[in-house]
Amino acid sequence: MNSSTILLGTRKGLIAYRATDHRWTVENLSFEGEPVSIAYADPRNGMWWACLDHGHWGVKLHRSPDRGATWEEVTAPAYPEGEEVRDGMPATTRYIWSMAHGGRHYLSKLWLGTDPGGLFLSEDGGDSFRLVESLWKHPTRKTLWTGGGRDLPGIHSIVLDPRDEDHLYIGISCAGVFETADGGRNWETRNKGLRADFLPDPASEVGHDPHILVAAPSNPDTLWQQNHCGIFRSTDGAKNWQDVSQSEGPARFGFAIAVAEDDPAQAWVAPANADVNRTAVKGALCICRTDDGGKTWKDFRKGLPQENCFDIVYRHALVSSGDAVAFGTTTGNLFFSPDRGESWQTLNNYLPMIYSVQFTD
């Protein structure tokens, strides 16, 4: 295992688990009782971030330089006055759905993705954020972007190319994948080969619903997405996508996907029943893994509940680090595997709904 900490964002707070002598114990509980949509640890400097969703009271953003011992509130991203989601509907930040650092050459950069579909950039370590207007003003946004899991469009995935930190991909529900090669000044759609079965034209250029978008750490030109309409993989930097779902078997619909650090062909998904019936497949929880780029899948169940199970895994709640894999569920169960998903240990059955999971040092 390469990482000693599991950081959780949950419906009732930020929770950190720490491994000592192969035993996981709770190290920190912050914001008890408050919804934490994303808990994020910046690998460049160890800063912990908590994105809070207070509902009626709005979105809040906090950071901690000392592993949650103390927290500082910073100004959450806000839309400029006069901006509209669509004509007559003012744009306000309703939810922070993704967070990513800006790379090791841009140490003060942070990216945030929000509902209602705005991407924000900080160039001062999070002291302030500005709306990336080039994406917000994309000609497709007002007419072709729609809500997916939420009422309005949301940016849930930000994928930074470690070889070129001006090169990013983002995932939007519902719009699809967009790419910039110049730090966000210009954007191209990257949805060729995807399907949107819920649209009149399933091959539409814009309007797709990727549930999560990730790149292989060992080859960033290989990208994976768990999509509303299947599992898709690209080996050419998102220019073309191939459906790698199981034709028969559970690895088709779901929200989360993780890719091995050392193998771009190895990935894990957490299957669920599709569409309106979003529960565990046949009442049993499993994790599926492919070792050959999606040509074949194998499901692993050892240590996971196999009857009367309603758990599903949200899009940010399945992660890998070396041989370790972890995931958290909508019913507050947290599971850990030391052997790439082949067997599972229960870390807790009594947590709040889990929104995000991250391995960190």
Any idea of the CA torsion for 131, 134, 135, 136, to the nearest 10 degrees? 60
Q: What is the maximum span of the chain, computed from C-alpha positions, in angstroms?
A: 57
Block residue for tokens 């780029």:
293
Distance of CA 302 to the CA centre of its chain: 25
Distance of CA 21 to the CA centre of its chain: 29
Distance CA 238, CA 170 (A): 11
Q: 233 pairs with which residues across the strands?
A: 224, 242
pLDDT digits (tens, 9 = 90+) for 109-153: 999 999 999 999 999 999 999 999 999 999 999 999 999 878 999
In Å, how far are 7, 104, 169, 320, 326 from 218, measured between CA atoms?
23, 17, 17, 13, 20
What φ, ψ does residue 298 adopt, rounded to 5°? Answer: -130, 135
What φ, ψ does residue 283 adopt, rounded to 5°? Answer: 70, 15
Scored b (16 or more CB within 10 A) or e, 302-319 reads: eebbeeebebbbbbbbbb
Residue 70 is classified by DSSP as S
Block residue for tokens 């946004």:
141
**Cα Rg for the chain, rounded, in angstroms?**
19
Distance CA 299, CA 249 (A): 9
Is the separation of the CB atoms in 271 and 250 below 8 Å?
yes
Say yes or no: domain 84-92+103-346 is CATH 3.40.50.1220. Answer: no
pTM above 0.75, yes or no: yes
Among 41, 40, 54, 51, residue whose Cα is nearest residue 77: 51
Name, in order, each residue with C-beta under 8 angstroms of 181's C-beta and a sequence gap of 6 or more.
164, 166, 167
Among 147, 141, 186, residue whose Cα is nearest residue 168: 186
Residues of the chain scoring pLDDT < 70: 1-2
State the pLDDT at residue 2: 65
Sign of CA dihedral 322, 179, 162, 361: negative
Sign of CA dihedral 280, 282, 287, 289: negative
Sign of CA dihedral 2, 253, 98, 336: negative
* Helix, strand, coil % over all residues of the chain, rounded to 5: 5, 45, 55
